[in-house]
Amino acid sequence: MRAPNEDRSDAPRVDVHHHMIPPGYREILNRSGHSAVSIPSWTPSDSLGWMEDRGIDRAILSLPEPGVWFGDETEARSLARRYNEFGAELMREHPDHFGALATLPFPGMDACCEEIAYSLDELGLSGIQLLTNVDGHYVGDTEFDPLMAELDHRQAQVLLHPNHPRSGSQDEALYPWAELPLDVTRVYARLIYNDVLVRFPGIRWVLAHAGGGVPFLAGRLGKAHYARPGAGPTGGGLRWGRILRDLALKRNGGLDLARNVSYETAGFEDPVARAALDELVGPDRILFGSNYPWPQEAPR
């Protein structure tokens, strides 16, 4: 992916949110009880033709939700390895046109950290895709601290992509309209409240789908930066050191955190979402993403 602060005047046009559908993935979804009806047909040639037609130089490939977790850790590790090697193969075949993000075998932390090392060190993948939740386990919760530490150590680029709620949830049917953007927002709130963005500053976050509700709620969510996590409905108290320091410096540290992550443009066609994101960050923090092969029109 292009770094958020990179000069774009003559840089190649990169699509940071571009899905691949590996051979056999549809069959695995159907066998695991996940309908593959909504999964479009896809080949690498389809992507290359679509990119050429729209003047896109490079696409960073990633697996769509629900990823590789279907209730069995051994299967998740096997599938993650298979699809990461598939992405690496496409990068070797089309080095000028494809990058790829690693899929991780959530929710096992040891397996995830092993796959990060293999994917980045051995396969040379472009970064990591994290699904917002896997079976109700949410990125940003403290159980994922070992993973955050590994990503921080590597200063990894991470695309945060929404995933369906836990199976059987009453919100599952609302995923396409409400839960997709809300799940990105839930994770971002956890990243603030659990101090992940402060404790692991080396992770280069890209929030999918224009950040969901983050641009609208960045000021309110940023108040969690001053809360000390703990038991009870109001948390464990306030971080007075941060409050007094920011008052003295006349800054809003919580809002600054939202301005220091990046956002990709799938969903950016909504004029209200566009206005909110433009108000929150400058163009150096907005990266192009298409969500291909799902229907999204790239600006020509």
User: Can you give the pTM of this predicted structure?
Assistant: 0.91
Closest CA to 198 of 115, 254, 128: 254
pLDDT of residue 50: 97
pLDDT at site 298: 39
The pLDDT, as a whole number, for residue 239 is 93
Six-digit token pair at 258? 């939202």
The CB-side HSE value for 80 (13 A sphere, CA atoms) comes to 32
Pairing relation of β-strands 98-102 and 262-264? unpaired
pLDDT tens column, 53-96: 999 999 999 999 999 999 999 999 999 999 999 999 999 999 99
Whole-number pLDDT of residue 169: 64
pLDDT at position 236, please?
A: 74
Three state DSSP letters for 275-290: HHHHHHCCHHHEECCC
Q: Which two tokens stand for residue 236?
A: 């464990």
What pLDDT score was predicted for residue 167?
63
The Cα 110–Cα 124 span in angstroms is 20
By the 10 Å C-beta count (0-12 exposed, 13-18 middle, 19+ buried), 147 is classed as buried
- pLDDT tens digits for range 208-252: 999 999 999 999 999 999 998 875 566 678 999 999 999 999 999
Please tell me the predicted confidence (pLDDT) of residue 166. 67
Q: pLDDT value at position 118?
A: 98
Residues paired with 263 in a beta bridge: 207, 286
Q: Which of 76, 71, 161, 72 shows the shortest CA–CA distance to 114?
A: 76
> What is residue 296's predicted lDDT score, i.e. its pLDDT?
54
Asked if 253 contacts 223 with a C-beta cutoff of 8 angstroms, the reply is: no
Q: Kindly give the parts of the chain with pLDDT less than 70.
A: 1-10, 36-37, 166-177, 231-235, 295-300
Q: Please give the pLDDT value at position 283.
A: 94
pLDDT, position 233: 62
The pLDDT value given to residue 126: 98
Task: Say yes or no: domain 14-287 is CATH 3.40.50.1370.
Answer: no
